[in-house]
Amino acid sequence: MAEIEKKHLLIVYHSQSGRNESLAYAASRAAGDAEPSVEVRLLRAAEAGTRDLVWCDGVLLFFPENFGAIAGGMKDFLDRTFYAVIDREIHRPYGVFICTGNDGGSALQQFERIARGYSWRCVTEAIITAGRPDAEIFTKAEELGAAFAAGLDIGVF
């Protein structure tokens, strides 16, 4: 019997307060629990690189907005991987979760411009939340992780 090839989900986060980190962990656990056939790799933005984007079939990003822009750690990840990814034509489905103290709109707008440069395609509505995450926000992160993993598993994107 032929072995079914696993799909790969990359979750990248940047967090200084711990909020986005805890949400990324919640999404990762939910993705792994929902779809055991999907391998999940959870990495800090500072640790993630082009090899991880090559490895994955889809990517979820968790980050705050700092001073009306993508937080520096996530921006660094995007800057470090951009040219290597576009040269290899690595087109990935993505989802974004922004937990911030502000409205997050500017960071999302900036990220969407960058994602177009990567030729990534958004397959989920961006989630933006302000302040300390409560149980409802953690549920949204878990649902995002589980739904994204299920989409990868069945080949929806």
Phi and psi based region of residue 123 (left: phi greater than 0; alpha: psi -120 to 50; beta: remaining): alpha
> 94 lies in a domain?
yes
> 21 lies in a domain?
yes
CATH assignment of the domain containing 104: 3.40.50.360
- CA–CA distances in Å: residue 12 to residues 1, 2, 3, 49: 34, 31, 28, 10
> 91 lies in a domain?
yes
User: Residue with structure tokens 């919640």?
Assistant: 26
Q: Are 106 and 65 in contact (CB under 8 A)?
A: yes
CA distance 13 to 4: 29
CA distance 11 to 1: 31
CA distance 136 to 155: 28
Predicted confidence at residue 1, as pLDDT, reads 45
> 92 lies in a domain?
yes
> 145 lies in a domain?
yes
> 2 lies in a domain?
no
Q: What pLDDT tens digit does each residue of the chain (157 aa) get?
A: 455 789 999 999 999 999 999 999 999 999 999 999 999 999 999 999 999 999 999 999 999 999 999 999 999 999 999 999 988 888 999 999 999 988 999 999 999 999 999 999 999 999 999 999 999 999 999 999 999 999 999 999 8
SS3 132: coil
User: Residue with structure tokens 């986060």?
Assistant: 13
Containing domain of residue 31, as a range? 7-154
Whether the predicted model's global pTM rises above the 0.85 cut:
yes
CA distance 2 to 5: 9
Domain count across the chain: 1
> 85 lies in a domain?
yes
Predicted confidence at residue 77, as pLDDT, reads 98
> 1 lies in a domain?
no
